[in-house]
Amino acid sequence: MSLTADELRERTRKLLAEHDFSDRLAFLRARFDAGLAWVHFPEGLGGLDAPRALQSVVDAELAEAGAPDNDPRRIGIGLGMAAPTILRFGTDEQRKRYLRPLWTGEEVWCQLFSEPGAGSDLAALGTRAVRDGDNWVVTGQKVWTSSAHTARFAILVTRSNPDVPKHQGMTYFICDMHAPGVEVRPLRQITGEAEFNEVFLTEVRIPDANRLGEVGDGWRVAQTTLMNERVAIGGHAIPREGGMIGIAAKLWRERPELRTPELHDRLLRLWVRSEGVRLAGTRLRQQLAAGSPGPEGSAMKLAFSTLNQEISGLELEMLGEEGLRYDDWTMRRPDKVDFTGREAGYRYLRAKGNSIEGGTSEILRNIISERVLGLPSEPRVDKDVAWKDLPR
Amino acid sequence: MTADLLYSDVEEDLRASVRSLLADHCEPAALLKRAESTEPYDLKLWRSLAADLGAAGLQVAEDRGGQGASAREIALVMEELGRSVAPVPFLGSTVLATNALLASGTDHELLGKLASGAATAALAVPLSTGPDRVKSTVDVSDGVLTGRVGTVADASVADFLVVPAGDGLYIVDTGFTVSELVSLDLTRRVADVTLSGARGTAIATGAAAAEALTAALTAGAALLASEQLGLADWCLEETVRYLKGRYQFGRPVGSFQALKHRLADLWLELVSARAAARYAADCLARRDPDLPVAAAVAQALCSEVAVHAAEECVQLHAGIGMTWEHPAHLYLKRAKANQIALGTAGRHRAALATLVDLPS
């Protein structure tokens, strides 16, 4: 018998009665120990085996009391990707060791997946893992790693067997970012800041006890991570003009001198499309709540990234002369992306990443056309060839 | 209350009934043959749909001869009619004329006749009239109507006309002539209507008449979005089916990424169009004050999505898509005519500029 909403509300009130907020971390640890961190996780691991939908009951109660939260935006990779993967593939010891400090934010995680030669084609990756007794010796280069400079641990996919086809020879690990041989270099990007990193791994020794899943089964483990990455999108309802279009609409209303007929037409077209995508998001959530999730989920990120790019581009043109200026090219190392907080030029440039990060728009179109519309896949020339024999 | 953007089980049952009826009557070859015959409308299908299935009375209360359902169910029928480009006067009679009567608050017996399918009516305005562009070309003097109205939808088979004239709204059953035009849309005809001394029954005058007419056209725009959605849905589905089976260069054409991505983009447009069409129908059903915005958004989106879908359908069918025998052109003609009907996308965007305070 799973818990009811009333029982969860009762437990949340008890937590609030017994712990004050003066020590943020102590409160978060107590919340985890009470099973109110992620209620659908097992007991003892921050949850109560309750239905996932009931998390909102706990969150609402805590928000009303003004309780500190675990700042999910800052620890998003750990929460959204590492945690579900550790839960599904980790040993009991791994789950006990990693999940609590991950959730409280005491230990930040990053994701060592993409490589210079393996982006959309993740299974082509070449970071080598060679067994040496109870350890593995890992050498290679990873890229586009958000939070690597603040991370304590990473989820890491490697090539452990180059002699079999690419999907079969991969192994997945938890990597200690403080281990000798791990070097993090900022990767300065189009906006001027270094939100991402390159990570060089030079003979890094990883104990076999830090392996997630079986040797050679890394692709399957990585699929769990990637599926959870895409599930994270479209979670909450937004009001009309709640997204990027709201910023452009506000600018339009406040600055009549910037208006031209051509900009007006484009703004209205984008307003209509934004409203359509917003309503589609609402519809998707209604389908989920009714227990019949549609395939629209895979489309929302594609729709948002296109809109964000067009709207931020329009905003810059609306500004005209002011659009020729930029706020600040100083290299910064943000721990979280502040998408709307900076100026139009930053938004325009940062939005270019929306159609690349977390699956490029081209890959998402492949997913829609093959999995939703049922169109045949392109011929695959790499399926039965050993990884070492693939052209690169 | 928040909008419900899903389809209820009852609505899905209605969809199944309507689809099965249309499947029997709207076979492409039969549609084409009919389009060139002296009877372009399928009145047998119309009677089955309007009377036997009760679709004409869905939006009308039971005590006034209808089914007591709502605009949500009408929208669902419109989706199915769009999927089959059915040659029936549903838009003119059930959507436009019936909504004009409902909005005027009249208890004229015509409402019951339309709801039961016993009679068919048309709203005497050019089909291109948007909710914000109402202008009557008919004069009235002592209840006698004189004038001409061009391109009226479904007038060819109308027993009655609902006519905006002077500052009133009138019902007319005799004293008018309908001259058939050659219509762009082969499965929904427009015709010119001439009133010469027709005696009309006033159902609203002054501000009430203007409001009723705007309400009817807004309801029409809100519901036409569902027809556009259904039409787009058919075009996408049919194109996907064709591209899976058509081989060129030793592969199914649908395996080429250049084409897959176009279809994925089209599907994505449909996701938004469906949400917008459902929202407009739901706002209409609940009399939500957001209806004018919802209808304008739905038309601005769905009319263009439908045209895009029909154009992609023709292009991706390539040679066969250009032929008379393949039904793609019927869909393209309906989609393009619908883009003009009840206000173009550009006019609806202009209306939105005022409604949501984004002035030019």
In angstroms, the separation between the Cα of residue B307 and the nearest Cα of chain A is 16
Please report, for residues A255, A361, B235, the alpha-carbon distance to residue B259 in angstroms, rounded to integers and kept in the order given: 42, 15, 15
Q: How many CB pairs under 8 A join A and B?
A: 121
Confidence of residue A286 (pLDDT cuts 50, 70, 90): confident
Check residue A125 and give its pLDDT.
Answer: 97
Nearest CA-CA partner of B142 in B160, B123, B165, B122: B165
Residue A289's pLDDT band, with cuts at 50, 70 and 90, is confident
Q: Spot the catalytic one: A115, A229, A296, A315.
A: A229
- Using CA atoms, how far apart are residues A176 and A151, in angstroms rounded to an integer? 9
**CB contacts, 8 Å: B240 with chain A:** 373-375
Across chain A, where does the E strand assignment appear? 109-112, 128-132, 135-142, 153-159, 170-176, 182-187, 196-207, 211-212
Contacts of A293 (CB under 8 A, 6+ apart): A284, A287
Burial of A377 from C-beta contacts in 10 A (0-12 / 13-18 / 19+): exposed
Mean pLDDT of A306-325: 96
At A33 the pLDDT is 97
Neighbours of A99 (CB within 10 A): 25
Q: Is A297 a residue whose pLDDT tops 80?
A: no
- Rg, Å, chain B Cα set: 20
Residue carrying structure tokens 């015709």: B191
Mean pLDDT of A126-133: 98
B326 close to A (CB below 8 A): no
φ, ψ dihedrals at B357, nearest 5°: 60, 55
Closest chain B residue to A364 measured between Cα atoms? B264
- Hey, how many other C-beta atoms are within 10 angstroms of the C-beta on A21? 13
CB < 8 Å from A in window 255-294 of B: 255-257, 260-261, 263-265, 267-268, 271-276, 278-279
Q: What mean pLDDT comes out for the span A321-332?
A: 93
Catalytic, A229? Answer yes
CA–CA gap between residue B316 and residue B319 (Å, rounded):
9
List, for residues B88-145, the tens digit of each pLDDT value. Answer: 999 999 999 999 999 999 999 999 999 999 999 999 999 999 998 778 899 999 999 9
Mean of all residue pLDDT scores within chain A? 92
For residue A271, list chain B residues with Cβ-Cβ distance below 8 A. Answer: 352, 356, 358
A373 and B357: CB-CB below 8 Å?
no
Residue A238: what pLDDT? 85
Ramachandran class of A49: left when φ > 0, alpha when ψ lies in -120 to 50, beta otherwise: left
Helix (H, G, I), strand (E, B) or coil at B176: strand
| Cross-chain residue pair B268–A264, CB shorter than 8 Å | no
Residue A265 above 80 pLDDT? yes
**pLDDT at residue number A359:** 85
| Structure-token pair, residue A64 | 């009303």
The answer to which of A233-242, A306-315, B58-67 has the lowest mean pLDDT is A233-242
H or E element at residue B172? strand B168-172
Q: How many CA atoms lie within 13 A of B205 on its CB side?
A: 6
What pLDDT is recorded for position A155?
98
- A-chain CB neighbours of B6 within 8 Å are 283, 286-287, 290
* Residue B13: how many other CB atoms lie within 10 Å: 10
For chain B, domains (ranges, CATH) are 209-355 (1.20.140.10)
pLDDT of residue B134: 79
How close A252 gets to chain B, by Cα (Å)? 7
CB contact under 8 A, B257 and A265: no
Distance CA B160, CA B120 (A): 6
Judge residue B206's burial from the number of C-beta atoms within 10 Å of its C-beta, 0-12 exposed, 13-18 middle, 19 or more buried: exposed
Phi, psi of B70 (to 5 degrees): -155, 180
Whether residue A318 has pLDDT greater than 70: yes
Angstrom CA distances, A101 to A32, A43, A97, A191, A237, stand at 10, 16, 8, 32, 29
Q: CA-CA distance, A195 to B254, in Å (whole number)?
A: 39
Does pLDDT of B150 surpass 60? yes
What are the strands, taking DSSP E only, across B60-153?
121-123, 138-141, 144-153
Q: What is the pLDDT of residue A302?
A: 92
Average pLDDT (B324-341) is: 97
Report helix, strand or coil for B180. strand
Handedness of CA B114, B120, B121, B127 (dihedral sign): positive
Are residues B304 and B339 in contact, defined by beta-carbon separation less than 8 angstroms? yes
| Chain A residues touching B360 at Cβ < 8 A | 259, 261, 264
A222-373: CATH number: 1.20.140.10
Which DSSP string do the residues of B30-56 spell out, in sequence order? HHHHHHTSS--S-HHHHHIIIIIS-GG
Express each pLDDT in A220-251 by its tens digit.
999 989 877 766 555 567 899 999 999 999 99
Only one residue has tokens 């030019």, namely B360
Contact between chains at A280 and B271 (C-beta distance less than 8 A): yes
Please list the helix, strand and coil fractions of chain A in percent, rounded to the nearest 5, in that order. 45, 15, 40
Q: Which of B5, B261, B271 sits opposite A286 (nearest CB)?
A: B5
pLDDT over 90 at A2, yes or no: no
ipTM of the complex: 0.95
pLDDT of residue A236: 66
- Alpha carbons A338 and A341: distance in angstroms, whole number: 6
Tokens 């007006």 appear where?
Answer: A264
Once rounded to an integer, what is the mean pLDDT over residues A293-303? 79
Q: What is the pLDDT of residue B136?
A: 87
Answer whether A376 sits within 8 Å of B244, measured CB to CB: yes
Task: Render pLDDT for A165-197 as a digit per residue (tens, 0 to 9).
Answer: 999 999 999 999 999 999 999 999 999 999 899
Per the CB < 8 A criterion, the answer to whether B22 and B81 are in contact is: yes
* Contact between A125 and A142 (Cβ < 8 Å): no
Query: Tell me, what DSSP letter sits at residue B154?
Result: T
Which of A228, A49, A287, A242 minimizes the C-alpha distance to B274? A287
Task: Find the angle CA(B257)-CA(B261)-CA(B262) to the nearest 5 degrees.
Answer: 120
What per-residue confidence (pLDDT) applies to B47?
Answer: 97
Task: Summarize the confidence of residues B68-95 as an average pLDDT.
Answer: 98
Indicate the domain borders of chain A: 7-69, 222-373
- pLDDT, residue A290, reads 79
- The DSSP element (H or E) to which A384 belongs, if any, is none
Rounded CA separation A308/A243 (Å): 9
Distances (CA, A) of A262 to A176, A266, B357: 54, 6, 17
Give pLDDT tens digits for A35-82.
999 999 999 999 999 988 788 889 999 999 999 999 888 888 999 899
